[in-house]
Amino acid sequence: MYIKQLYTNCLSEAAYYIESEGEAAIIDPLRDIDEYLALAKERNARIKYIFESHFHADFVSGHIDLSKLTGAPIVYGPGAVTNFKIYNAKDGEVFKLGKISIKVLHTPGHTIESSCFLLINEEGKDEAIFTGDTLFVGDVGRPDLSSGNLSSEELASIMYDSLQNKIMPLNDDIIVYPAHGPGSSCGKNLGPSTYSTIGEEKKTNYALQPQSKEEFIKAVTEGLAIAPKYFAVNAKINMEGYDGIKTIVEKGTQALSVSDFKKQLSGDVILLDTRPGTEFTEGFIPGSIFIGLEGRFAEWAGSLLPFDKPILLVTPEGKEEETVIRLARVGFDKMAGYLNGGFTSWKNAGEKIDMIISVEPDELIMDIPHDKNLVVVDVRRETEFAEGHLKDAMNVPLEEMTDVVNLAQFEDNQNLYVHCAGGYRSIIASSLLKRQGVHNIRNIEGGWSKIKEQEKAEIIKDASVLN
């Protein structure tokens, strides 16, 4: 028996490859499936099953393409309804894989069709459980992403029963392999590891502690951040189907000359620059939106960009295909090509450029007493802001901004000093503001991590939000 967790850090997503006697199963594959095919070929195995724990909202699955190429059936738990052919497993149904077995445990709560997959080894012993978004390390799946007309409280009630009846009776030594790790928006606060055991989760996971159903419902529904805007889009794609990723990559990796790129820019398009933030601030094509590949790129793209407009790309050299694939993972399929030669070719052609001025935190602190029009724009999340912020700072969380910024909250004469925690989000925010015609902007290098170290910084906490 062979098990491999295939973890994608920028999405905090775990897919799984399981194999016995030359037969393999893939659980929760990403849209780009080459890694699974290559692994099966390397190990001289045949992919026999594709298991989906539920309709994913945070990424587009590779189930359809993988099934077309391998002939393996797509297996969902009870209640899944799609526009393409699947196999609806019954609760408790067992699938043979070489000398091992995989048993379906229907565990609704995160969504109606949510299911876990219990691996039974060669000796007939329960060895591992692939929990999807039902059970994480230190957390459970959020119950506000309903695949039906149920409320968060109703789904949480159902989840309580699933955990009590299907998860809690399992042996403590069973390994827990969830679909997500730390940083995922599919739970409230996932732990630092990407796997655990049933026994460890019974000891440490707040959702598995002795409590009434009412207490559980309150615990899992309180304090949920707003779900990213692209979640509903991705869930729909996973239910209804999609174009093959090869088609998207071929179109998205068309190299466009400066003149052809300019022609495309004259339409209603999104111009996305994925270079490192330090390069972007020093010069970019006017109207560009910055979302750098070095951060949680796909998540921010899905949260901020529209899905119905063509996207033109400026990327680091050699990163064109990676950019397209990572966008496709969260449902974008209208990439229209990239600028051949990158920003350098644009600059060398003598075309207009823009830039974002960055300043050190000490300069900000020195300017605050003397500039009556200075406004600190803190683009961190509300809870981050509450834990500590500069006096009189304006909190405009980045996730509430889009490609069209609401400018009513700003005055024309204001000098905006924008910061986040470390510098990545503030450059995104600055690019969005620039795109809307706001140019009196300074980006604070190092963000809050450096600002709070300044001796003269006047720091405020908001206890009402934290409590």
Summarised one tens digit per residue, pLDDT across range 107-121 is 999 999 999 999 999
* Domain containing residue 378: CATH number: 3.40.250.10
Summarised one tens digit per residue, pLDDT across range 64-113 is 999 999 999 999 999 999 999 999 999 999 999 999 999 999 999 999 99
Report the pLDDT value the prediction gives residue 467, as an integer from 0 to 100: 53
* Same-domain status, 399 and 454: yes
d(CA 236, CA 335): 20
Summarised one tens digit per residue, pLDDT across range 401-430 is 987 888 888 888 999 999 999 999 999 999
* Same-domain status, 294 and 226: no
What is this structure's pTM?
0.92
Last residue of a domain, one of 317, 348, 379: 348
Residue 103 and residue 72 in contact, taking contact as beta carbons nearer than 8 Å: no
162-178: average pLDDT: 98
d(CA 162, CA 156): 10
* Same-domain status, 370 and 265: no
Say if 91 falls within a structural domain.
Answer: yes
Summarised one tens digit per residue, pLDDT across range 285-303 is 999 999 999 989 999 999 9
Q: Of 215-229, 262-276, 332-346, which range is least confident?
A: 215-229
* Same-domain status, 365 and 311: no
Summarised one tens digit per residue, pLDDT across range 128-167 is 999 999 999 999 999 998 667 889 999 999 999 999 999 9
Report the pLDDT value the prediction gives residue 409, as an integer from 0 to 100: 87
Say if 237 falls within a structural domain.
Answer: no
Structure-token pair, residue 448: 């809050």
Any alpha helices (H) in 305-423, and if so which ranges? 320-328, 342-348, 361-367, 382-386
Helices 34-42, 63-70: axis angle to 10 degrees equals 40
275-286: average pLDDT: 97
* Same-domain status, 40 and 107: yes
* Same-domain status, 30 and 112: yes
Range of the domain at 101: 2-232
Residue 287 and residue 267 in contact, taking contact as beta carbons nearer than 8 Å: no
Whether residue 466 is predicted with pLDDT greater than 60 in this model: the reply is: no
User: What average pLDDT is seen over the chain?
Assistant: 95
Domain count of the fold of the chain: 3
Using a 10 angstrom Cβ sphere, with 0-12 exposed, 13-18 middle and 19 or more buried, the burial of residue 28 is buried
* Same-domain status, 119 and 220: yes
Summarised one tens digit per residue, pLDDT across range 43-69 is 999 999 999 999 999 999 999 999 999
* Domain containing residue 228: CATH number: 3.60.15.10
Other CB atoms within a 10 A radius of the CB of residue 88 amount to: 15
* Same-domain status, 120 and 177: yes
Last residue of a domain, one of 169, 204, 232: 232
* Same-domain status, 252 and 326: yes
Residue 181 and residue 137 in contact, taking contact as beta carbons nearer than 8 Å: yes
Report the pLDDT value the prediction gives residue 189, as an integer from 0 to 100: 82
Percent above pLDDT 90 for the chain: 90
* Same-domain status, 199 and 126: yes
Block residue for tokens 């500069």: 390
* Same-domain status, 28 and 145: yes
CA diameter of the chain: 75
